[in-house]
Amino acid sequence: MPGQYSVYVVALEADALKHASFREANPNHIPGKPCLYVGMTSKTPDERFQQHKSGYKASKYVKRYGKWLRRRLYEHHNPLTHDQAVELEVTLAESLRDKGYAVWQK
C-alpha cells in the first residue's frame, strides 16, 4: 500500500543566514550554496508550502524567506509511509548539509 506522506524541500532566500540560529545549525555551509528547508507532510508539498507562506503551522524561515519548492531534491522519494517520512526528513537534511547547503529542519 503506498504511503500518504511526503518529504519536501523549500528554497530559502540567503537572508535566512542573518539569523544566528540558522547559521549555528549550518557550521559547514559553503558560501554561495543555497539555503533550504526540509520538511514532511501528509498534504501535498504544494499545499504545505502554501500553509507555511500563509502562517499556518509555519516555519518562520519558510514564511519569511521561502521562495519555491526544490522538486528535484525530493520528488523521487515520495510517496512514503509516516515512519519513512520521519526518517527521510532527517536523512535528507543531513545529506544536503553534507553537500554544503545551509539547511533548516525541525
Does 91 map to a domain?
yes
Rounded to the nearest angstrom, the gap between the alpha carbon of residue 37 and the centroid of all alpha carbons in its chain is 3
Q: What is the pLDDT of residues 50-73, one digit of tens each?
A: 999 999 999 999 999 999 999 999
Does 1 map to a domain?
no
Cα distance between residue 49 and residue 19, in whole Å: 21
Strands 66-69 and 35-41: unpaired
Task: Provide CB contacts within 8 A for 56, sequence distance 6+.
Answer: none
Does 44 map to a domain?
yes
Q: What is the pLDDT of residues 26-49, one digit of tens each?
A: 999 999 999 999 999 999 999 999
How many domains does one find in the chain?
1
Domain that includes residue 13, residue range: 6-104
Cα distance between residue 35 and residue 24, in whole Å: 13
Judge whether 87 and 27 are in contact, CB under 8 Å: no
Judge whether 40 and 6 are in contact, CB under 8 Å: yes
Does 10 map to a domain?
yes
